[in-house]
Structure 1
Amino acid sequence: MTRVNTVLGPIAVEELGFTSIHEHIGYGMPGSELDTRWWKDPEVRYSETVPKLRAYRENGGNTYVDATGICNGRDVDYYKSLSDKTGVNIIACTGFVGGDTALKHFADAAVEYLAEQFIHELTVGIGRTGGKAGIIKVGVSRGFKMTPLDLKIYRAAARAALATGVPIITHLAIDSQPAIDIFHEEGLPLSRVLFGHADDGVSQGKVDEEGILSAGGRIGFDTFGYDLELPDPPFWGRHRDERFQHLMRFLRAGRVDQVLVAADANCSPLGWPGVKGHTINYLFEQLIPDLRQDGIDEATIHRLFVTNPADFFTPSKEK
């Protein structure tokens, strides 16, 4: 039986339930904790985060995958408290959002050291928290091209995924061929990799969707809610219907099993004001009603949010 690490301990993959695969409890760039303008005390962070997670649970959400990597504000003791307060399973990650968020200690390290770091956090625990990571995060640095450091992190992630059986999620799906090459060289099946943010506004025209899919990879439609219709939309925003129709093209083409969906919500942003009007609950308040209105049946919605995440967390040899 496959078991998945949450911050409160491992659970059976069947217990994941409705899962949003790419979210953030509180994300910030390295050093944001020293920014006096946006620094937040714990009470403020709790007041911003608990209502969103409770609403997610009340709406039917069961598991929240936190994709906040090392150096970006990851706080497992905080996650444990939130999970206990709200009843939401929280899965923490190891790895880095991108090479440009890895502090020098890690940036200068060898592949072997990074792989050992990831494996330790997945099997022993993160720091002294007692909580273990349940997924690996990697990413493409700013500039839309994989850097040598990115490639080193991807290779370490592939080795850790093979050693532990956990899957990998990426920040951005652009410049995917170097990543695919590394995963093939290391012997990692592409079904263990979710190429994320393929639906955001800045990635359009830069994602080789067919190359990823034909290699066996999965595509992340995981920035739902970052709509240009917002009063102050982010630079990665996209028109609501354009993103929705992008997903619908995949579903109508029978690609549902290679799709995972999320909102990339940031419950309590660190070091920046965040995006007003955007939360994890967009999935229930806007996206799922839109899917139903467009003729998507309940079985397909269940596959997107329950079956597909459970399958993604299940090692290939156990399927």
Structure 2
Amino acid sequence: MSKINTVLGPVAPAELGAVAIHEHIGYGMPGSELDTTWWKSPEERYTETIPKLRAFHDYGGGTFVDATGICNGRDVDYYQSLSEKTGVHIVAATGFVGGDTALPHFARASVDYITEVFVHEITEEIGHTGAKAGVIKVGVSRGGRMTELDKKIYRAGARAGATTGVSILTHLAIDPEPALAIFAEEGMPLDKVLFGHADDGVNAPLTPDTRILGAGARLGFDTFGYETELPDPPFWARPRQERLDHFLRLSEEGWFDRLLVSADANCSPLGWPGVKGHTVNYIFEQLLPDLKSAGVDDDSLHRLLVDNPAAFLTIAN
């Protein structure tokens, strides 16, 4: 039976509903939990997070993919509680945002060891939660080029994905050639790989989007809402219309079914203040109206938010 692993157990693709494919319940760099300036009690994190997930559910959102991974604040017990309270399916990730977020224990480990960790979290459980990971996260470290550690993690992710049938999300779509080579060597199907952050203001000019799509992979427009028009925009912001035009251009070129969208928002940021006013619900509050105004019809929006992510997330084996 086709399924997707969520923190409360497997669900059928038809149960996913509208999907936010690349989000965070609470993301922080390793060690941020030790910085008392930004420390938050469980009650504070609930207070920040529950209203956002309930609004997501009320807007018609069905599934929230948490792309945090190991070492960056992943808390599966917490995700299970949030899912029970809000009715939102939450998909947890195994893997790492990038090699530069892997703590020394993992950074020094072999490909075989990291692969075993990923496979265990997908097929057995994460910790003692009973929950299985539903996606693998890999990423390019800061600096814009894949490091040797990044390549090791990508290879472990590819082996785990090819073995289990679970899909891969990447952090950044820049410098894709080493990743494409690794995926080919390890037999990882490219239609189960989503190259993320192809749309942000820093990385979009460096991302060979049609090369990635032409190779058979998927592309993530997953930083919607991080706009230069914000009162205090982050460094990766991009003009709202420029991002939308980029998405529409690729859609018109015939790549629509390989595009996935999200806001990459942080419900309760860990170790940094986050971006005020930016939530997962930008998808419903701004993106969908913008797409409708640009002439995208309801059937196409259903494909974008429901069909495309379901095809991507469904476990292949």
Segments of 5+ residues of structure 2 without an aligned counterpart are: none
SS at 1:54 equivalent: helix
Task: Show the 5 A alignment for 1:95-174.
Answer: 95-174=95-174
- How many angstroms apart in 2 are the aligned matches of 1:221 and 1:180? 19
CA contact (8 A) 1:230 1:277 kept: no
Aligned to 2:280: 280
Residue 75 of structure 1 aligns to which amino acid in structure 2? D
Aligned to 2:250: 250
- Give how far 1:13 is off: 1.4
- Give how far 1:316 is off: 5.2
- Give how far 1:252 is off: 1.5
Residue 114 of structure 2 aligns to which amino acid in structure 1? L
Aligned to 1:184: 184
Aligned to 1:38: 38
- How many angstroms apart in 1 are the aligned matches of 2:206 and 2:230? 24
SS at 2:219 equivalent: strand
Alignment deviations for residues 5-51 of structure 1 (CA, whole Å, 9 cap, x no partner): 10011111111110010000000000000001000000000000000
- How many angstroms apart in 2 are the aligned matches of 1:261 and 1:71? 25
Alignment deviations for residues 62-112 of structure 1 (CA, whole Å, 9 cap, x no partner): 000000010000000000000000000000000000000000000000000
CA contact (8 A) 2:162 2:189 kept: no
Runs of 4+ in 1 over 2 A off after TM superposition: 314-317
Residue 50 of structure 1 aligns to which amino acid in structure 2? I
- How many angstroms apart in 1 are the aligned matches of 2:123 and 2:66? 18
CA contact (8 A) 1:213 1:219 kept: yes
CA RMSD of aligned residues (A): 0.8
1:206 aligns with 2:199: no
Alignment deviations for residues 200-219 of structure 1 (CA, whole Å, 9 cap, x no partner): 01102211112111110111
- Give how far 1:314 is off: 2.9
Segments of 5+ residues of structure 1 without an aligned counterpart are: none
Residue 285 of structure 2 aligns to which amino acid in structure 1? E
Percent sequence identity is 67
Aligned to 2:301: 301
- How many angstroms apart in 2 are the aligned matches of 1:204 and 1:164? 31
CA contact (8 A) 1:261 1:304 kept: yes
SS at 2:20 equivalent: strand
**TM-score, normalisation: structure 2:** 0.99
1:12 aligns with 2:37: no
Aligned to 1:312: 312
- How many angstroms apart in 2 are the aligned matches of 1:273 and 1:313? 30
- How many angstroms apart in 2 are the aligned matches of 1:169 and 1:253? 23
Residue 170 of structure 2 aligns to which amino acid in structure 1? T
Aligned to 2:271: 271
- How many angstroms apart in 2 are the aligned matches of 1:2 and 1:153? 27
Residue 100 of structure 1 aligns to which amino acid in structure 2? D
Alignment deviations for residues 118-169 of structure 1 (CA, whole Å, 9 cap, x no partner): 0000111111111111000000000000000000000000010011101000
CA contact (8 A) 1:122 1:134 kept: yes
Task: Show the 5 A alignment for 1:211-226.
Answer: 211-226=211-226
Distance 1:77 1:316, change over 3 A: closer
- How many angstroms apart in 2 are the aligned matches of 1:296 and 1:13? 24
Task: Show the 5 A alignment for 1:84-103.
Answer: 84-103=84-103
- How many angstroms apart in 1 are the aligned matches of 2:294 and 2:210? 24
